[in-house]
Chain A
Amino acid sequence: MPAIEGVLIDTDVLVIGAGAGGLLAALSAKRHGPPGTRVTLVDSWLIGRTGHTAFSNAWKIVVAPDDDLDGILREIVAGNDGIADQVLVREVLASSYARLKDFESIGMKFAREEDGRYKRRPTRGLDLARVLYPEGGGLEFSWLLRRALEAEGVQLIDRLFVTGLLGGGGGRIAGAVGIHSRTGEFHAIKARATIVATNAITFRSGFVRDITGTGTLLAYRAGASLRNAEFSYVRPGTPKFYFEGITFAIQEGAHFVNAKGEAFMRAYEPEWADEADVPRIARAMALENEKGNVPLYLDMSAIPEELRDYFIQSKVKWMDYFFRKLGNEARTDMFGKTPYYALNQMTKMAIRTGADCRSDVPGLLAAGLAQAGCANHFAGFHIGLCVGNGWIAGRSAVEDLEALPPPRLDAGEIRALHAEATGPRDEAAKPESDLILRDLQAVMFAYNVGILKRGDRLETARRQVQALAARFEALAAPHTHELVRLKETEAMLLAARFILGASLMRTESRLSHFREDYDARDDAHWLVWVDIARGNDGPCFTTTPVPTPLCSVAPLTRRPSRLDAHSGAVPVSPVTGSGVDVPG
């Protein structure tokens, strides 16, 4: 047996992943823990400058004291077609204003009107909820949280790519192992509570926030169940540039049109039209493709000239650079007609937990999009949910410190995980994970597999993924960079298997899961989660009824559209918003 070389770290609460969920989980654990509680946050790259959060607008739904909390809960549950943990979502919403105040206390600034009230915007697919946006977008949001964690004594470990969770033989999770994502040095972290907050799996759609989240699969291998694999975040995208702000653009008069010039969304979504949430836009786009009505476009020509610079000169720094460099080309493309299509950005597959963010495995918790609180997050509840469930996970982890038996390390297990973490290596090998990824993308991004599903096509895709997994077995990494990518690709292959399996199992249509051969929502049989657990012979798919303790899951009839109200002639100002303003 070869000797192990590496680093051992001992901590109380280990948080894996530094997006909004992980940052908040670490902050929460530190603040809920008694003095001296050791909290360690690790990320594959630089904490505060990575994760989906850092490259987002960091919009978040915040429920102010005078808002209709239960009304917002009801519309989020309805917007999830019922697939939501109502208790968790309610607590996230109810605590969102307190978190806003926490953010302000560490120096974060949120956009305000001249009279001091917050600027609040409506968001797509929801009538009552309002989003707030921090100055500096996700980069500033994430960096200020990093600084706050440093100030409160949280141990930050950058560039640690986690490759496995420690079982320790004690019936509980005892920490994690990983490699330095540059040097490959092996690390083992012993922890009394471990929170996975590594986002959801992506297939590298090419969008700038193109970061894979492998922690959910590590949790699966360690005994946790996953759910929501059949749902996905498929958003409109363009091959020409990246654009954060479609939601606002539509509020200002943009709309999707097909090759015939028809504004097609009204035909598919009579109530919401272009303001529909992205799963419904994606489905409509795929059906337009079936009809031969492509290319499709986001026509922004109706946006008034005086508002156009708002979309060019973004408040998000990377977008500012992006559009400034594109110059006139961006202006021509954005406000002329640029082709759009629906592209899968990430699966919604995440770790099954209770409303306390504890998984089925003692000592293992989940936060961020690695936690399956919702199957749909609109624009503003991605980070909104991550902030809330991160806070809950940190609190629960602290409660577990005393409640669970102390973790033990098993040398044999660590040796096995070390071998797995540091291989397969072969300095003579060619880096070929990208070839597998390219072929996997071709399978999973195909609109008639990822958006318009049908049993026979899903079966065919499953066989294709199996063949790719067989090809993958022969690969080795010549260097650490490729080793990390190999492990990410391996996780994507496993995720694809789960996505296709869950999609085959759910014989109805709901949310982003649309089956041509079962094209109706069927609450009588399918108001359930499809859970995936590791069985003796591979993944085991079962169902769990979704409890509805707080509100109905029936679809809502929306209020008259804001777009109808002003008919595009009186635009909603991007700097004044149309929401209910509340005092700061």
Chain B
Amino acid sequence: MIENIDIAKCTGCGICDLVCPADVIHMEPAPHADEVPGLRQVGLLPVIKFREHCITCFSCEIFCPEQIVDVHPSVKNRPRPW
């Protein structure tokens, strides 16, 4: 499951959002979006929006050009037949 994105080092390229096959990461306006009233902020940063739906495919971590995404390999709550 995705654990963390080191936002301080993020360039906002959006690749992690693009490659996620489970809609877990969303690019959203950076915190300083209202710096100049009236100007629309185009700089976006990733937010882990639906962590519980991560399928641990590692795509965000594999394709992040800055290598700042951390996915933990633990498997949780896997259904069982008995």
Contacts and interface: CB of A to CB of B under 8 A. Distances in A.
A321 B71 contact: yes
Contacts of A203: 79
Contacts of A54: 21
B80 A317 contact: no
A31 to B, nearest CB: 27
Contacts of B49: 481
A484 B80 contact: no
A205 B78 contact: yes
Interface in B26-64: 26, 49-50, 52-53, 55-59, 61-63
Given A321-B62, A321-B71, A481-B50, A211 B21 contact: yes
A49 B21 contact: yes
Nearest to B55: A210
Contact of A239 (B61, B62, B63, B80): B80
A445 interface: yes
A322 B79 contact: no
Contacts of B82: 286, 289, 294, 341, 446-447
Contacts of A242: 56, 75
Nearest to A324: B73
A451 B26 CA distance: 39
A208 B21 CA distance: 10
B29 to A, nearest CB: 15
B58 A450 contact: no
A242 B71 CA distance: 14
A485 to B, nearest CB: 8
Interface in A289-339: 289, 294, 317-318, 321-323, 325-326
Contacts of A92: none
Interface string A533-572: 0000000000000000000000000000000000000000
A50 interface: yes
A442 B49 CA distance: 27
A559 to B, nearest CB: 32
A317 B81 CA distance: 29
A241 B72 CA distance: 11
B21 A322 contact: no
Interface in A208-238: 208-211, 237
A45 interface: yes
B7 interface: no
A211 B59 CA distance: 14
Nearest to A44: B21
B19 interface: yes
A322 B80 contact: no
A286 B82 CA distance: 9
Contact of B81 (A182, A286, A318, A484): A286
A55 interface: yes
Nearest to B24: A481
Interface in A446-500: 446-447, 450-451, 481, 484-485
Contacts of A286: 81-82
A139 B57 CA distance: 11
Nearest to A437: B79
A342 B71 contact: no
A205 B79 contact: yes
Nearest to B81: A447
Contacts of B79: 203, 205-206, 343, 441-442, 445
B63 to A, nearest CB: 8
Contacts of B52: 434
Interface in A485-544: 485
Contacts of A182: 23, 26
A181 interface: yes
Residue of B22, B61, B81, B82 with most partner-chain A CB within 10 A: B81
A341 B81 contact: yes
Given A211-B21, A286-B81, A206 B75 contact: yes
Nearest to B59: A49
Contacts of B55: 208-211
22 contacts: A49-B18, A55-B57, A205-B79, A208-B57, A210-B22, A239-B78, A239-B80, A242-B56, A242-B75, A294-B82, A317-B62, A318-B57, A321-B73, A323-B73, A325-B72, A341-B80, A341-B81, A341-B82, A343-B80, A434-B52, A441-B79, A445-B80
Interface of B: 18-23, 26, 49-50, 52-53, 55-59, 61-63, 71-73, 75, 77-82
Interface of A: 45-46, 49-51, 54-55, 139, 181-182, 203, 205-206, 208-211, 237, 239-242, 286, 289, 294, 317-318, 321-323, 325-326, 341-344, 434, 441-442, 445-447, 450-451, 481, 484-485
